[in-house]
Amino acid sequence: MEISLSEIAKMLDGQVIGDPHLNITGVSSIEEAMPGDITFISNPKYRSRIASSQASALIVPKEIKEVSTSLLLVENPYYAFAQLLAYFHPAQCHAAGIDSRVSMGKGVVIGEGVSIGPFVTLEDGVKIGNQVRIGPGAFVGERSEVGDESLIYPNVTLREGVKVGKRVIIHCGTVVGSDGFGFVPHQGRHHKVPQLGGVIVEDDVELGANVTVDRATMGNTVIGRGTKVDNLVQIGHNVQIGEDSILVSQVGISGSTEIGRHVTLAGQVGVAGHLKIGDHVIVGGKSGVTKDISSGETVSGFPPFSHKAWLKAQATFRKLPDLRGQIRALEEKIIQLEKRFSPPDSNERI
């Protein structure tokens, strides 16, 4: 595949600085790029690698005067790079059709252009939209729905009553609609609370590998439109997640918590149940959220507080052994000074 830099600029709404007729044959990282490749720089700390890169062109946010490489100026270099990756490496096409080894229940409705692999199970009342692809070994439970153009990878489990929107991607091993973790203690034993609700996964959501999304006790667990969930994330029953949020690997959210829009929960963040996290919140990695967080806050720690204050606290923590020694030395000096300047005992004979 070959495309000129000027054509790429038109595609990405960018501006060429250098040779507009330069032919681009591939996309690569700045370290691995070869002549004919285009790469990108969005973080200033990688500018030192430009001189050693063999890339024919660079995607950058603003002109770099000291380089001779042709440049493509765009607003968001990383996004432009992602678009070019999709252009040079389009998604693999799968022929429409239903494998003969599919197990299909009663009243199943299947749209046009659907591809369903071997050993898939579609239980009674399942609805599959148009251009959906379901990989081998997947299970779609009774009355569940999968919207148009969604991609269900092999060995995904969608239990009964799960509604998956359009253009959703669900990776291998993920379970949507498992029972919520609900038990009531009585007379020294834990008794299961029936989990009768469902799960709604809205349009353009992506769930990574081995994610678990619990069904609601009643009502629905909801993952909002455009939210992206990394591998190994646990989402408890009746959790509500707003649009365009990011949940990084090993996040755990307890039941009935509400997560706002454009929220980022970094790796291994734990969130207690029945909390509210506002819009545009960022929670740093390994934090433990035990109380509500207002919109717009950036927090870290356990319990979490202002991220800037947390960074200062972490810097201080490393100095604690030295500070402890200094405090002991100061205490000794104070004792000596008190002995030296303390008034004589009134009972002492003069």
Q: Compute the half-sphere exposure of residue 50: CA atoms within 13 Å on the CB side of its CA.
A: 21
**256 residue type, one letter:** S
Would you tell me how many other CB atoms lie within 10 Å of the CB of residue 3?
Answer: 16
Bridge partners, 2 (sequence order):
none
CA distances for 241 relative to 6, 51, 265, angstroms: 41, 44, 11
**289 residue type, one letter:** V
Tokens read off for 319: 């100095």
Backbone angles phi, psi at 151, to 5 degrees: -125, 115
- The helix, strand and coil proportions of the chain, stated in percent and rounded to the nearest 5, come to 15, 30, 55
Backbone angles phi, psi at 123, to 5 degrees: -80, 180
Separation of alpha carbons 241 and 221, rounded Å: 8
**167 residue type, one letter:** R
- Helix axes of 77-88 and 5-12: crossing angle, nearest 10 degrees: 120
Separation of alpha carbons 161 and 200, rounded Å: 9
Query: Does 237 participate in catalysis according to the annotation?
Result: yes
The answer to whether 226 and 203 are in contact (CB under 8 A) is yes
Separation of alpha carbons 225 and 249, rounded Å: 19
The answer to whether 290 and 273 are in contact (CB under 8 A) is no
Instruction: From the candidates 237, 262, 274, 280, give the one annotated as an active-site residue.
Output: 237
List, in order, residues 6 or more apart from 142 with CB less than 8 Å away. Answer: 105, 123, 124, 125, 126, 160, 161
How many residues belong to the chain? 350
Separation of alpha carbons 349 and 202, rounded Å: 90
The answer to whether 20 and 6 are in contact (CB under 8 A) is yes
Residues identified as active-site: 237
